[in-house]
Structure 1
Amino acid sequence: MASCGGLVSIVLLAIFVIQVIEFGHSNASTNVSCIGVEREALLKFKHGLTDPSRRLSSWVGEECCKWEGVECNEKTGHVLKLDLHNPYTGEIYIDNFIPSSKCRLGGNIAPSLTKLKYLKYLDLSVNNFATQKIPMFFASLQKLEYLNLSYARFDGHIPRQLNNLSKLEYLDLSSDSDLGYLTSNDLDWVSKLSSLKYLHMSGVGLSKAKDWFGSINMLSSLQSLGLSNCQLQVIPSTLQANFTSLRFPDISSNYIDSSIPPWIYNLSKLEHIDLSTAFLNEGRLPTAIIENNQRIALFDMSWTFLLGEFSKNLSSLCKLQVVRLRGNNFNGNISIISNGRLGCVQSKWKIFDVSENHFGGDLPNQFGDFRELEHLDLSFNSISGSIPANLVELSSLRELYLSDNKLSGTIPESIGRLSNLKINRPVTSGIRATIGKGATEPRSDVSSQTEKGGGDDRGRAPEKQGAKAKKDRASSSSRDMVGDLETRMAKVEIAMADVQGMVEDMSARIEGGETGTGELEAEVLELKSEFGELRGEMLGNLTDTTNELQQRDNALEALVEVMHAETAELKAKVAEMEGARVNEVITV
């Protein structure tokens, strides 16, 4: 569902687009002469890089202001902008970003960049500076307003000296443990960046940054905050948030040992809020978040241990596009969420996922207002009644999940007219149904999971389930690990295809007489290094995953033994009770 994934990325990067537009005004031009000192600084910088795709082939001659990725001030000729982000940024899915291995710059970053005294914009994102730390001399580029080093495979501690960049408005240091692991023991240096509007550090290790909130709370101009998967430990519940202009908070996947703090309720400019898998303590949905923020486009509270009746009608939020409440303990009538008068010309909903809760009632009968909906997941609830025939009005629907409910009746033939619908798993699992005339017969599993006793376990906190549930989770985890291995292997295959393309390009250049012997030898050595790195990554992934799967299998076997022991114990108790009853009969 590329369009939905694109939606999330568009919302996340909205401020970035604004920043780029603002920065690209009349100060930048390529019709000026380059400053000699700055040209030499750029050439030294290029000399330290590896460029297998020849992205910097235009970096020749005197006019550096015409080089790829370089922009200068139209009056003075000073370099203002250096944008060398990887143009092949990869795939952005609904839940994760996979950087591309194509066209990555690498090598060493020369300190000659410090000669660019007027540089305001620096973007080196999605490149390959593996095992390198973020250069400390970046802190001397004191006119920087924009710095993006995300997914560039930098490693180690983030230099505190970045606090010298007092004019910085945009900072993205987002990382991925598979691509390089950045850490910071405290965020005090961030508090000095008083002009920041956009701060994204998702994937950066912040487990030792105890007062991370206090530091970020100093940023009164902050509009976008990305701290997902940062190993955050605590979040204060009593402090007042000073960043009242915040529009895009994302602190998902941190497993903070608390419930949602009250200060979030008072934020009134939110457009995108992602708190999924962020909190471990049970609590109730703060409806004030919805009431105070009528411009919300993305609302994700999945797996946040929320409970109680969901009493808020979301259909009145005219800008809402993504709703995810999966894996909580909500109950009440499912229709309350989406029924009622819209108050909008047309709903913009694209994703609606409330699976693995305890919602009941009948399915809503008003689908005509949700024609842009692409993903609908109501599975693993207690929804009853029949499937409405007017479901066909969801003309954009691509994914539909109704399994493991208490639905009954005939499956409407009209579902067959949903031309965009993909078949991923049985839509009828958990439906006691008869197949309407002319309808395509679904797969055989149409029994009610709830009647089997399996439906009651979904949505509960993991520690409250028994040995069977632990076994099921372990099996599911093993399958997830295999899927993760397949994803990593796919990345390796893409990278190897990229290397193969470079080999073919070299061959063509050799035949055309464009490449000299020295340059060829250098590129061959680089290719050997690439292949060695890919081979090591592939073998490492295989070894690690095989070992972990073996550990999971051992754990499963232990659980099975426990279940057998419990069964034997139950049988012994039953036999003992039977014996006692026989003795009573004999005595009588």
Structure 2
Amino acid sequence: MGTYFNGFMFMRQVLFLTWFLLLLTITNSFSSLQLLCHEDESSALMQFKHRFVINKSVSSYPFAYPKVASWKNNSDCCSWDGVECSEDTGHVVSLDLSSSCLYGSINSNSSLFHLVHLRRLNLADNHFNYSQIPIRVTHLSRLEYLNLSLSKFSGQIPSELSQLAKLSSLDLSYNHEAYSKSLGTLVQNLTSIQKLLLSSVSIPSTIPESIANLSSLTHLVLFKCGLYGEFPVIIFQLPNLLILELGTDQDLVTGHLPAFNSSSPLKVLGLGATANDTLPQFETLGLGSCNLRMFPDFLRSQHKLQWLDLSGNGFQGLIPKWMYNASTDTLKVLMLSGNYLTGFEQSPAILPWSNLNVLLLSGNMLQGSLPILPPSIQSLEVSDNAFTEKFPPWVCNMTSLVELDLSNNRLSGTLHPCLGNFSRSLKVLSLQSNNFHGIIPKGWAKGGNLQVIDLSQNQLQGQLPRSLVHCSMLEFLHVGDNEIHDIFPFWLGTLAQLKILVLRSNGFHGVINDPETNDTFLKLRIIDLSHNDFSGNLPSRYFSQWNSMRAFDAKKLTYLLVGVDGDGWGGSFDYSFTITNKGKEQEYEKILDVLTVIDFSCNRFRGEIPEAVGNLTGLHLLNFSNNGLTGHIPSSLGNLKNLEAMDLAQNKLVGEIPPELVQLNFLAVFNVSNNSLTGPIPCGKQFDTFQISSFEHNPGLCGRPLSKTCGDSSLQRPSIFEENQGSKSLFEFDWKVVVIGYGCGLVVGIFIGQIMIPKEHDWFVRIFRKKQQTRGRVKGRK
């Protein structure tokens, strides 16, 4: 009985599967038949094709091509270029012939209007020989998208377009010969419209309040339409409006801006010439990051501005000459950073604002000579541009300067001697990443306030001037990537505030002798001597004195910055620091004051690693790689509880890897390759995550992750990593947030994210986001 039942069930399953496959075949065949283009629509498309000449010169798009050229009779039109059919009915529902090089007239007899199932029609960027937009387009009652822009239509736009009630996007832009007598009549019934683009279409009428009834509207672009009258303020309050552009209609539009709240969706607002007599005289005006594309014309009549922020917009080309007349006697702060500006319309650029304190031009494409500034200037930031002149001598007349940032340009020549004997007001001097050569000025005066000196990435030569010892407030000195030939500047150790010292990639040489006193470099937190020619033993007494590398308090995180309160404007400048790893660059746009770094890699140090290094318990990054160090790895390095990267590769170290290093819970990078180490590799915790490359080329090492066993199988314990393969690794977050690296240069990373809030990965990324344009730049935060 059981056998019979099983056979019955088997036959039932076979019959069901056969029936299912047959039904699937029939369905697919039916669908295939339905996808074939309808014969009348295919004929209509071919007739439309034959009404036009192919002329590649008529399209403005550089990659335009004649889509209709591939259309062939006796083939399925649903497969034609630019044609899309419904999967359910086979009817043509979309026709995109934009930039198809079509030349010829189009009228109401066109076979195009036989395609009554069309939902999308795009004929943009063709040449329809100044024919009128046919009224019969309204027969395409299913249209949701209509784009006839830049196609040489002329004459009156039929008001019947408003009968296309399903339209969500209408673009008639740049048909310069086309016009409409009334904007209200044109759009009155377009209740579903989301995008209304009518740039350069003549519409000599007022803007009706009825547009505010188009509640779905997201884009309203009426650039150069000849509109006039008062702009209804209620339109600003459309609930979904993202982009509103009125452009430069000189006769338009009076009115005023409403008070926008934080929930307003508006992202782009282009008002062009809103009448000036309707706006108040501002003293403070912030238009930063407003997606403006041109300088607001109403600034012409502003005479009382003191603070003007136009940064982070889309300004291109030259700064217009008329801007020089805006608030000439009152303007103190002008921010134009983060645009696409290339120069000044008036040349030479002698800025007229007699009381200007702050000028921010960073992050543009400015070329040629720097603008000539009034002597009142306190903060000048022109980094990340393409200025090409020699060091401007007029800078020496800027006796009120607090911050001078010329970094990341193409400036050349020698540094003017006046820099050394500059005014006592200067706090920030950043000339990084230019083409300056010659010696660093020697006469650095006493009593100055300099906190930051960044001369890195130039071709400076000679020695570090000993007079830098007079800069008693100095916290940050970066002269990396130059051609300086000198011994170690031990005399800088008397600078009580010095926190960051970077000498990498120069010609520093000789032995670093132990200090003669016990109060040397007391606040030093970051020191980078990599890629030089230092020799002798590592300076153990220095390691014993660097008390600031012992402290670590994650509860008091602050950034290293310089306050610049010129005339009370409240600016500050964050220290910026770049680390090199395998030829790639990682920039810390802000530096937490808990970050501690020692990088002595790629020199000729010899002897043993001092035990005193293990006392620097706040250390995050330690790199002694590519030297000639001998002896054992000190077990005291196991005291570096906050260490996240240790690179000892390419030395002559011997003995075993100290098992105490397993206690370093934050260690994400460990490299001891290319030494003469022996014995078993420690197991457990972070050591179970390190790759073979961390240990290779040590013939005497054994144990995981190497293939060489240590003889006693009991030593090969299952790793934590293997035991937890099925679940999220305890240290998976380490690898997401720690920027890791090996080899010469600074090994990178800071594990603050794990110490603070383990799940706040986005917070960590925002603090340490990558920026490859600059290295070691001191950048202002306004």
- TM-score normalised to structure 2 length: 0.39
Aligned ranges 1:268-347 → 2 under 5 Å: 268-279=264-275, 281=277, 283-284=279-280, 296-298=290-292, 300-304=294-298, 305-312=300-307, 314=309, 320-322=313-315, 327=322, 330-331=326-327, 334=331, 336-338=333-335
The answer for the alignment partner of 2:36 in structure 1 is 33
Matched, 1:105 2:103: yes
Q: Is the 8 A contact 2:352 2:374 kept in 1?
A: no
Offset from partner CA, 1:125-149 (integer Å, 9 cap, x none)? 1211122100111112122111111
The answer for the alignment partner of 1:162 in structure 2 is 161
The answer for the alignment partner of 2:358 in structure 1 is 364
Instruction: Evaluate the alpha carbon distance shift between residue 239 and residue 44 of structure 1 in structure 2; reply closer, same or farther with a 3 A threshold.
Output: same
Deviation, 1:191, is 2.5
**Aligned mate of 1:85, from 75, 98, 101:** 98
Matched, 1:418 2:406: no
The answer for the alignment partner of 2:114 in structure 1 is 115
Aligned ranges 1:96-495 → 2 under 5 Å: 103-109=101-107, 110-177=109-176, 180-207=177-204, 209-210=205-206, 212-236=207-231, 241-256=236-251, 259-263=254-258, 268-279=264-275, 281=277, 283-284=279-280, 296-298=290-292, 300-304=294-298, 305-312=300-307, 314=309, 320-322=313-315, 327=322, 330-331=326-327, 334=331, 336-338=333-335, 348-351=338-341, 359-362=353-356, 364=358, 370-371=362-363, 373-375=364-366, 384-385=374-375, 393-395=383-385, 409=397, 417-418=409-410
Offset from partner CA, 1:475-498 (integer Å, 9 cap, x none)? xxxxxxxxxxxxxxxxxxxxxxxx
The answer for the alignment partner of 1:58 in structure 2 is 70
Deviation, 1:123, is 1.0
Offset from partner CA, 1:185-244 (integer Å, 9 cap, x none)? 34223021112121111111111x23x232422222222221121111212466564524
Secondary structure of 1:107 counterpart: coil
The answer for the alignment partner of 2:738 in structure 1 is none
Secondary structure of 2:45 counterpart: helix
Deviation, 1:251, is 0.9
Q: Is the 8 A contact 1:384 1:408 kept in 2?
A: no
Q: Is the 8 A contact 1:202 1:229 kept in 2?
A: yes
Q: Is the 8 A contact 1:322 1:352 kept in 2?
A: no
Deviation, 1:34, is 1.1
Q: Is the 8 A contact 2:381 2:405 kept in 1?
A: no
Secondary structure of 1:187 counterpart: helix
Deviation, 1:312, is 4.9
Offset from partner CA, 1:488-516 (integer Å, 9 cap, x none)? xxxxxxxxxxxxxxxxxxxxxxxxxxxxx
More helix by share: 1
Q: Is the 8 A contact 2:215 2:239 kept in 1?
A: yes
Offset from partner CA, 1:239-263 (integer Å, 9 cap, x none)? 5645242222211121136644234
Deviation, 1:417, is 4.9
Q: Which has the larger radius of gyration?
A: 2
Aligned identity (percent) is 24
Instruction: Evaluate the alpha carbon distance shift between residue 115 and residue 176 of structure 1 in structure 2; reply closer, same or farther with a 3 A threshold.
Output: closer
Q: Is the 8 A contact 2:385 2:408 kept in 1?
A: no
User: Structure 1, unaligned stretches of length 5 or more?
Assistant: 1-28, 88-102, 340-346, 421-437, 440-588
| Distance across 1 between alignment mates of 2:98 and 2:91 | 21
| Distance across 2 between alignment mates of 1:386 and 1:247 | 40
| Distance across 2 between alignment mates of 1:123 and 1:44 | 18
Q: Is the 8 A contact 2:320 2:344 kept in 1?
A: yes
The answer for the alignment partner of 1:21 in structure 2 is none
The answer for the alignment partner of 1:100 in structure 2 is none
User: Structure 2, unaligned stretches of length 5 or more?
Assistant: 1-31, 57-65, 399-403, 413-435, 438-782
Offset from partner CA, 1:412-450 (integer Å, 9 cap, x none)? 997995389xxxxxxxxxxxxxxxxx99xxxxxxxxxxx
Instruction: Evaluate the alpha carbon distance shift between residue 173 and residue 365 of structure 1 in structure 2; reply closer, same or farther with a 3 A threshold.
Output: closer
Quote the RMSD (CA, aligned, Å).
Answer: 4.6
Instruction: Evaluate the alpha carbon distance shift between residue 384 and residue 230 of structure 1 in structure 2; reply closer, same or farther with a 3 A threshold.
Output: same
Instruction: Evaluate the alpha carbon distance shift between residue 229 and residue 40 of structure 1 in structure 2; reply closer, same or farther with a 3 A threshold.
Output: same
Instruction: Evaluate the alpha carbon distance shift between residue 75 and residue 252 of structure 1 in structure 2; reply closer, same or farther with a 3 A threshold.
Output: same
| Distance across 1 between alignment mates of 2:38 and 2:171 | 29
Deviation, 1:272, is 2.0
| Distance across 2 between alignment mates of 1:124 and 1:393 | 45
Whichever residue aligns with residue 158 of structure 1, its letter is I
Instruction: Evaluate the alpha carbon distance shift between residue 150 and residue 218 of structure 1 in structure 2; reply closer, same or farther with a 3 A threshold.
Output: same
Secondary structure of 1:57 counterpart: helix
Instruction: Evaluate the alpha carbon distance shift between residue 261 and residue 37 of structure 1 in structure 2; reply closer, same or farther with a 3 A threshold.
Output: same
Whichever residue aligns with residue 265 of structure 2, its letter is K
| Distance across 2 between alignment mates of 1:142 and 1:59 | 26
Q: Is the 8 A contact 1:333 1:361 kept in 2?
A: yes
- TM-score normalised to structure 1 length: 0.51
Instruction: Evaluate the alpha carbon distance shift between residue 67 and residue 238 of structure 1 in structure 2; reply closer, same or farther with a 3 A threshold.
Output: closer
Deviation, 1:160, is 0.8
Whichever residue aligns with residue 160 of structure 1, its letter is S
Secondary structure of 2:112 counterpart: helix
| Distance across 2 between alignment mates of 1:144 and 1:377 | 52
| Distance across 1 between alignment mates of 2:233 and 2:272 | 21
Whichever residue aligns with residue 374 of structure 2, its letter is S
The answer for the alignment partner of 1:486 in structure 2 is none
Whichever residue aligns with residue 410 of structure 2, its letter is L
| Distance across 1 between alignment mates of 2:82 and 2:339 | 38
The answer for the alignment partner of 1:68 in structure 2 is 81
Secondary structure of 1:262 counterpart: coil
Secondary structure of 1:249 counterpart: strand
Deviation, 1:57, is 1.4
Instruction: Evaluate the alpha carbon distance shift between residue 321 and residue 129 of structure 1 in structure 2; reply closer, same or farther with a 3 A threshold.
Output: closer
Secondary structure of 2:142 counterpart: coil
Deviation, 1:72, is 1.5
Secondary structure of 1:125 counterpart: coil
Instruction: Evaluate the alpha carbon distance shift between residue 287 and residue 387 of structure 1 in structure 2; reply closer, same or farther with a 3 A threshold.
Output: closer
Q: Is the 8 A contact 1:248 1:272 kept in 2?
A: yes
Instruction: Evaluate the alpha carbon distance shift between residue 222 and residue 186 of structure 1 in structure 2; reply closer, same or farther with a 3 A threshold.
Output: closer
Deviation, 1:335, is 5.2
Whichever residue aligns with residue 297 of structure 2, its letter is W
| Distance across 2 between alignment mates of 1:398 and 1:215 | 54
Q: Is the 8 A contact 1:392 1:414 kept in 2?
A: yes
Q: Is the 8 A contact 1:136 1:161 kept in 2?
A: yes
Deviation, 1:337, is 3.5
Whichever residue aligns with residue 174 of structure 1, its letter is S
Deviation, 1:301, is 4.5
Instruction: Evaluate the alpha carbon distance shift between residue 225 and residue 419 of structure 1 in structure 2; reply closer, same or farther with a 3 A threshold.
Output: farther
Q: Is the 8 A contact 1:374 1:396 kept in 2?
A: yes
Deviation, 1:63, is 0.9
Secondary structure of 1:225 counterpart: strand
